[in-house]
Structure 1
Amino acid sequence: MDVRKITIDGPAGAGKSTVAKILARKLGFLHLDSGAVYRAIGYGAKEAGVDVDDESAVSEFAKTVNVDIDNGRVFLNGKDITEKIRTPEGGVLASKVARFPEVREKVIEILREIAKDKKVITDGRDAGTNIFPDADVKIFLTASCEERAKRRYEELKKKGFNISYDEILKEITSRDNQDKNRKVAPLTVPEGAVVIDTTGKSVDEVVAEIEKVVSQKK
Structure 2
Amino acid sequence: MNQKVIAIDGPSASGKGTVAARVAAALGWAYLDSGALYRLTALYAKNQGIAWNNENEVAQLAASLPVEFIGQTILLNQQDVSQAIRAEHIGMGASAVAKLPAVRTALLQRQRDFLTHQGLVCDGRDMGSVVFPQAALKIFLTASPEIRAERRAKQLNIPLESAEFQHILADIQARDEADQNRSVAPLRQFPDAELLDTSDLSIEEAVKKVLDWYSKKSKTQV
Structure 1 and Structure 2 fold alike (TM over 0.5): yes
Counterpart residue type for residue 70 of structure 1: I
**Greater mean deviation of Cα atoms: 49-58 or 15-24:** 49-58
- 1 CA distance for matches of 2:112 and 2:58? 21
Aligned counterpart, 2:25: 25
Q: After TM superposition, give the deviation of residue 2 of structure 1 in Å.
A: 8.8
1:141-160 aligned at under 5 Å gives the runs: 141-157=141-157
Counterpart residue type for residue 125 of structure 2: R
Aligned counterpart, 1:195: 195
Partner of 1:157: helix, strand, or coil?
coil
Deviations 1:140-160 (A, max 9, x none): 1111111111111111228xx
Aligned counterpart, 2:210: 210
> Which runs of 5 or more structure 2 residues have no equivalent in the other structure?
none
Counterpart residue type for residue 212 of structure 1: D
CA change 1:153–1:8 in 2 (3 A) is: same
Percent identity of the aligned residues? 39
Aligned counterpart, 1:165: 165
Do the aligned residues in 2 keep the contact of 1:24 with 1:30 (CA within 8 Å)? yes
Counterpart residue type for residue 69 of structure 1: F
- 2 CA distance for matches of 1:136 and 1:123? 14
Do the aligned residues in 2 keep the contact of 1:144 with 1:199 (CA within 8 Å)? yes
Partner of 1:167: helix, strand, or coil?
helix
Counterpart residue type for residue 93 of structure 1: G
TM-score normalised to structure 1 length? 0.91
Aligned counterpart, 1:122: 122
- 2 CA distance for matches of 1:14 and 1:73? 21
Partner of 1:31: helix, strand, or coil?
strand
- 2 CA distance for matches of 1:184 and 1:68? 27
CA change 1:68–1:191 in 2 (3 A) is: farther
Deviations 1:86-115 (A, max 9, x none): 221221111111111111112221111222
- 2 CA distance for matches of 1:154 and 1:19? 17
1:1-218 aligned at under 5 Å gives the runs: 4-157=4-157, 164-218=164-218
Do the aligned residues in 1 keep the contact of 2:63 with 2:107 (CA within 8 Å)? no
Do the aligned residues in 2 keep the contact of 1:31 with 1:72 (CA within 8 Å)? no
- 2 CA distance for matches of 1:135 and 1:213? 13
- 2 CA distance for matches of 1:104 and 1:178? 15
**Greater mean deviation of Cα atoms: 128-137 or 58-67:** 58-67
Q: After TM superposition, give the deviation of residue 45 of structure 1 in Å.
A: 0.6
TM-score normalised to structure 2 length? 0.90
Question: What is the count of residue pairs matched by the alignment?
Answer: 215
**Greater mean deviation of Cα atoms: 188-197 or 58-67:** 58-67
- Over 3 Å off, 4+ runs: 77-80
Counterpart residue type for residue 98 of structure 2: A
CA change 1:77–1:147 in 2 (3 A) is: same
